Chains A and B, each alone.
Chain A
């Protein structure tokens, strides 16, 4: 019946098409443009497409240059330019016209102009300087749509150099009455912060202020910059933890307007952003984390697991749980969620499950065990993405018990893929794991051989150097026999492998070095055997100078060791000819090495031993940096009347040069171009200028500009040097702060254990504790029993599982039991502190700044009133920065509550299921001028069908036939 339906629909479509043939218009574009799109759509090959576009470019070049082109036409040309640039062709000849179009007064043209420049120009394009003035003007426009268009361009085009030109206006727009403008201003300021954090660092307090904006959209947008700021400097934002938690709680409780709902979840995108922020704030901070436990737990419980967005929130919650200070209840919930992900049929969810598992095992390693079979399934999945993710998980859970299996698998995978990026990554991971967990020397050498054989040219040269150092130094244990064993097995395997064709250069370098250093040390191989091999390498890779250089040096070492040991030196004829050849080489490096070799073998044993001591690669060479051994020579020269040496920087000519350069730098840093107009200084501009230069006002705060720096330039150490040191000082400070916050390790919750013992006797809590433990143990058992009847699991898989996960089973369980108790008691302690705070904090429901629901609901049950705190903090920041931009903290409170009350008052019609649609139609009715372009979606699908029929007919008329290239052109994207 469905087929029939489709058939009748098709018929209807054709009829509709015929009917609509007569109607006019067509996507509001000209015939020419439609023809262009059509012909490109029908192009059979890339070459044909290119030909069409090239003709189009010629046409446009001609048309655009015509003097009497109307603005309307120009708009269309620019859209056509956009189109050809989108197809990958160069439309730069038209950029200047797009720039011109932004100057137009009409909003349609301006909007097109801005769209074009944001798509055409990168932020370092020369033409941007021509737009800055227009942007400045538009940011002051009365029409908020013009301001919005300009702010869009600001976000894309304004670079470090031009930030000062628009910064004051953007800051002003943060207080704009229209929420759309405020939102974009926040994003623009965020962009500035990303571009050059120093130029807006004095303005970051504005983000805190916007966090309590009356509009949830602005609040949501503010979370982006705050997330960035917190990533860089967690410590300064700890005071916001309570506020974020409370906002998240309110969002999860559906206090935001209904229009933020998405697939039945309340404002999920805002929830996710907040969870990301909490994840940063709670990392390694027990106190902050304790505020979050309840709300994160609630969210995990409320997630709708049937929708994708619900799973997105759940995943973010797991990330949060595994980053903040561990809480056993939450960890259990996260583990449950992960097992749901992994058991799902959807590859996406499996992928997320693997990723989440990788995060959770950092704090709860025993979780991995439960999912061993699921993990192995994912490892053997045909989907490469999933496979890669699983390898990442394995990499994270590698230990000495399973390293062999994991690295072997990784190497197999590495050999099988072609993607250089991931080949490199996998190779370096293999190396890392092998270095860290290698069970035996032999295995280590074999593994490294495999890695280098297949990806030697891809791995970082540092990896090769590491390997050499490792062979030279051993594994760091003071066990000489083990070290020499390592070397012997390396030499042995390299002698075997050296003859193979197509070895990567980096690997050959390692081989040559090791053979030179240790080839004859243990006496298994004679000097002539090893030198013969080395000569073969040099001959086989005659085009690779580096390998040849390594080979020659290796030869030199072996001969030197022979001479030092007092053995008679008989050089192989091929070696002789090689040395002769190289001493006439084009490469001076090779020449030098060849001559050095010849010189060394000419010396007597005593001297050779000093020049080339055996196994001395790890010994430090002391370098006489001051060249003191030349002192007597210098003294002699002085006595003969030589001039003393003057450092380059002190010579006359150089002084001028450096001065010049310095001035230049200064000019660049305080932007060479003036963006302010040269007209009469209006009072507003005069008032604003101090804020622009306030970045330089920071300078006096730096107590002493480095004196050495000032002395170096033979000039008054005035403005340039000071401003330079100022900025560097500032940056330095930020770095220091960031480094303080390393990642602490959670896997051993030892200190809290003692804590739990002291609390143990408290009350019923401990009993519940015990029950919980029993329950979880019981669940484990049931899981096992559930797993056992599945007979279809192949023994191979089980073996793999055992080798991957087997090592971690017994001891960990006990530990986790202890952890349980510990955090549970701490949790209770947190509750206690909550109670205390509740008593002390004055409960003032009407002052609840950010309360997003109806004010009648008594929401102040939540422990502390966060907004009260927020208010306080705002005042503080204002005092500190001495920016008297109105006491926001004080005036905001009634304002916002009334706003949200209004929101909820107008809400009731939103309660029905089709809130979006009714809302939309309401909007389109209200907007002045009656928006005719918006196809108000109607409840019956029929109208939409009609719509698409008309559309269909139109394009037929245009001559675009869907039956040709792409029959899907007409199918609704949303089905």
Chain B
């Protein structure tokens, strides 16, 4: 038993430090960029007309998570996944409103924002904001951990993941997300199971690639 407790402590420490690092701004933005950043937000300021936009007025919502957004600190979109129906126009509006809301928040405040009767849970990792929109009565801390679960799985997959990985391999991030969430619900909470399934898919892709290249080799040799 004592053995167990020490090891628990050790891992915990690791986790804690990881969290601390994550919420700590890694580098300070250069002055010019900061100006640009401010400028952006101003232009993207919320000029909303409440009509014809899905707001939550207390009716029971179908899925738990309505959408997942990854936004960089500059307000650039890195990944969007919509589980509830939104038109392209609404999506742009949501992104504009939420980046205005979230990116301006200070580091020590809550990781939750109330927005149009929904709640948006967000967490910053390095320069990326991971946001999930949920219903009024959902457990925010749980969603925060769903985000963390996603990031941990991304980290395992890419090998210390950074924003650039997600920029260039956003489709892979989608594949991983599809194994964690489906139709806005958490379908799998075991990191191992998700990793195993994604690896299985990738290995098939690899096999297909090798096959293709060997085929082209054969053709090349024959001709």
A: residues with CB less than 8 A from B are 26-29, 34, 37, 40-41, 44, 46, 79, 82-83, 85-88, 90, 106-108, 111-112, 115, 118-119, 122-124, 145, 148, 152, 155-156, 180, 183-184, 187, 190-191, 194, 216-217, 220-221, 224, 231, 257, 259-260, 262-264, 267-270, 272-273, 276, 306-309, 311-312, 315-316, 319, 347-348, 350-352, 382-383, 385-386, 388-389, 420-422, 425, 912-913, 916, 919-920, 923-924, 927-935, 937, 944-945, 947-948, 951, 955, 960, 965-975
Nearest B residue to A107 via CB reads: B204
User: What B residues does A347 contact at CB under 8 A?
Assistant: 108-111
Q: Are A269 and B189 in contact (CB under 8 A)?
A: yes
Asked whether A88 and B77 contact (CB < 8 A) given A122-B85, A194-B62, A937-B156, the answer is: yes
Asked whether A352 and B141 contact (CB < 8 A) given A187-B182, A966-B72, A971-B27, the answer is: yes
Q: Are A183 and B15 in contact (CB under 8 A)?
A: no
User: What A residues does B154 contact at CB under 8 A?
Assistant: 973
21 contacts between A and B (CB under 8 A): A88-B88, A106-B208, A107-B201, A118-B178, A119-B174, A183-B188, A187-B182, A220-B189, A270-B189, A308-B19, A309-B145, A312-B141, A352-B140, A913-B7, A913-B10, A923-B196, A932-B206, A933-B203, A947-B160, A972-B160, A974-B22
Q: Are B163 and A152 in contact (CB under 8 A)?
A: no
Q: Are B188 and A220 in contact (CB under 8 A)?
A: yes
B: residues with CB less than 8 A from A are 7-8, 10-12, 15-22, 24, 26-27, 29-30, 33, 36, 40, 43, 48, 50, 55, 60, 62-64, 72-74, 76-77, 79-81, 85, 87-88, 91-92, 95, 108-117, 125-128, 139-142, 144-146, 148-149, 151-152, 154-165, 167-171, 174-175, 178, 182-183, 185-193, 195-209
Asked whether A107 and B190 contact (CB < 8 A) given A422-B114, A973-B128, A975-B17, the answer is: no
User: What B residues does A267 contact at CB under 8 A?
Assistant: 189
If A90-B88, A257-B190 are given as contacts, then 18 extra A-B residue pairs at C-beta distance below 8 Å, sorted by A number, are: A34-B168, A148-B201, A155-B182, A191-B183, A217-B189, A224-B64, A224-B186, A262-B145, A264-B12, A268-B145, A307-B15, A309-B141, A316-B139, A385-B109, A385-B110, A933-B199, A973-B125, A974-B21
Q: Are A966 and B203 in contact (CB under 8 A)?
A: no
Q: Are A259 and B204 in contact (CB under 8 A)?
A: no
Please pick, from B19, B22, B208, the residue contacting A107 in the complex, using a CB distance under 8 A: B208
Q: Once the chains are docked, how many angstroms separate the CA of A927 from the CA of B191?
A: 17
Asked whether A974 and B18 contact (CB < 8 A) given A107-B205, A145-B200, A937-B156, the answer is: yes
Q: Once the chains are docked, how many angstroms separate the CA of A108 from the CA of B203?
A: 10
Q: Are B187 and A187 in contact (CB under 8 A)?
A: yes
Please pick, from A350, A955, A965, A975, the residue contacting B20 in the complex, using a CB distance under 8 A: A975
Nearest A residue to B119 via CB reads: A385
Asked whether A119 and B117 contact (CB < 8 A) given A312-B145, A972-B160, A974-B21, the answer is: no
User: What A residues does B36 contact at CB under 8 A?
Assistant: 44
Nearest B residue to A312 via CB reads: B141
Nearest A residue to B143 via CB reads: A312
Asked whether A931 and B199 contact (CB < 8 A) given A264-B12, A309-B145, the answer is: yes
Asked whether A155 and B127 contact (CB < 8 A) given A312-B139, A930-B203, the answer is: no
Q: Once the chains are docked, how many angstroms separate the CA of A90 from the CA of B88?
A: 8
Chain B nearest CB from A613 CB (Å) reads 39
Please pick, from B85, B91, B157, B193, the residue contacting A217 in the complex, using a CB distance under 8 A: B193
Q: Are B204 and A123 in contact (CB under 8 A)?
A: no
Q: Are A155 and B183 in contact (CB under 8 A)?
A: yes
Q: Once the chains are docked, how many angstroms separate the CA of A156 from the CA of B112?
A: 27
Asked whether A931 and B156 contact (CB < 8 A) given A86-B170, A974-B125, the answer is: no
Q: Are A269 and B155 in contact (CB under 8 A)?
A: no
Q: Are A307 and B12 in contact (CB under 8 A)?
A: yes
Asked whether A187 and B27 contact (CB < 8 A) given A913-B10, A944-B159, A966-B73, the answer is: no
Q: Are B142 and A269 in contact (CB under 8 A)?
A: yes
Q: Are B202 and A934 in contact (CB under 8 A)?
A: yes
Q: Once the chains are docked, how many angstroms separate the CA of A217 from the CA of B195?
A: 14
Q: Once the chains are docked, how many angstroms separate the CA of A28 from the CA of B172?
A: 11
Q: Are B43 and A46 in contact (CB under 8 A)?
A: yes
Residues of B contacting A: mostly: helix
User: What A residues does B191 contact at CB under 8 A?
Assistant: 259, 262, 916
Q: Are B190 and A260 in contact (CB under 8 A)?
A: yes
Please pick, from B30, B63, B202, the residue contacting A931 in the complex, using a CB distance under 8 A: B202
Chain A nearest CB from B135 CB (Å) reads 12
Nearest A residue to B108 via CB reads: A347
User: What A residues does B158 contact at CB under 8 A?
Assistant: 935
Q: Once the chains are docked, how many angstroms separate the CA of A190 from the CA of B83?
A: 14
Asked whether A931 and B141 contact (CB < 8 A) given A82-B171, A194-B62, A260-B189, the answer is: no
Q: Are A421 and B55 in contact (CB under 8 A)?
A: yes
Chain B nearest CB from A156 CB (Å) reads 7
Q: Are B203 and A87 in contact (CB under 8 A)?
A: no
Q: Are A180 and B199 in contact (CB under 8 A)?
A: no
Q: Once the chains are docked, how many angstroms separate the CA of A124 from the CA of B85?
A: 9
Q: Once the chains are docked, how many angstroms separate the CA of A969 from the CA of B24?
A: 15
User: What B residues does A220 contact at CB under 8 A?
Assistant: 188-189
Q: Are A183 and B187 in contact (CB under 8 A)?
A: yes
Q: Are A927 and B142 in contact (CB under 8 A)?
A: no
Q: Are A217 and B188 in contact (CB under 8 A)?
A: yes
User: What B residues does A145 contact at CB under 8 A?
Assistant: 200-201, 204
Q: Are B142 and A351 in contact (CB under 8 A)?
A: no
Q: Once the chains are docked, how many angstroms separate the CA of A180 from the CA of B144?
A: 25
Q: Are A973 and B126 in contact (CB under 8 A)?
A: yes
Q: Which 3 A-B pairs have the closest CB atoms?
A: A975-B21, A968-B127, A935-B159
Q: Once the chains are docked, how many angstroms separate the CA of A124 from the CA of B48?
A: 26
Q: Are B15 and A913 in contact (CB under 8 A)?
A: no
Q: Are A421 and B182 in contact (CB under 8 A)?
A: no
Chain B nearest CB from A323 CB (Å) reads 11
Chain A nearest CB from B145 CB (Å) reads 5
Asked whether A955 and B164 contact (CB < 8 A) given A920-B195, A966-B73, the answer is: yes
Nearest B residue to A187 via CB reads: B182
User: What B residues does A422 contact at CB under 8 A?
Assistant: 114
Q: Once the chains are docked, how many angstroms separate the CA of A263 from the CA of B189?
A: 12
Q: Once the chains are docked, how many angstroms separate the CA of A90 from the CA of B89?
A: 10
Nearest A residue to B93 via CB reads: A88
Please pick, from A88, A190, A307, the residue contacting B92 in the complex, using a CB distance under 8 A: A88
Q: Are A348 and B206 in contact (CB under 8 A)?
A: no
Please pick, from A156, A311, A972, the residue contacting B162 in the complex, using a CB distance under 8 A: A972
Asked whether A316 and B142 contact (CB < 8 A) given A973-B126, A973-B155, the answer is: yes
Q: Are A148 and B197 in contact (CB under 8 A)?
A: yes
User: What B residues does A184 contact at CB under 8 A?
Assistant: 182, 187
Asked whether A27 and B168 contact (CB < 8 A) given A46-B43, A106-B208, A231-B60, the answer is: yes
Chain B nearest CB from A934 CB (Å) reads 5
Q: Are A973 and B183 in contact (CB under 8 A)?
A: no
User: What A residues does B43 contact at CB under 8 A?
Assistant: 46
Nearest B residue to A914 via CB reads: B11
Q: Are A973 and B50 in contact (CB under 8 A)?
A: no
Q: Once the chains are docked, how many angstroms separate the CA of A276 from the CA of B15?
A: 27
Nearest B residue to A958 via CB reads: B168
Q: Once the chains are docked, how many angstroms separate the CA of A224 from the CA of B202?
A: 28
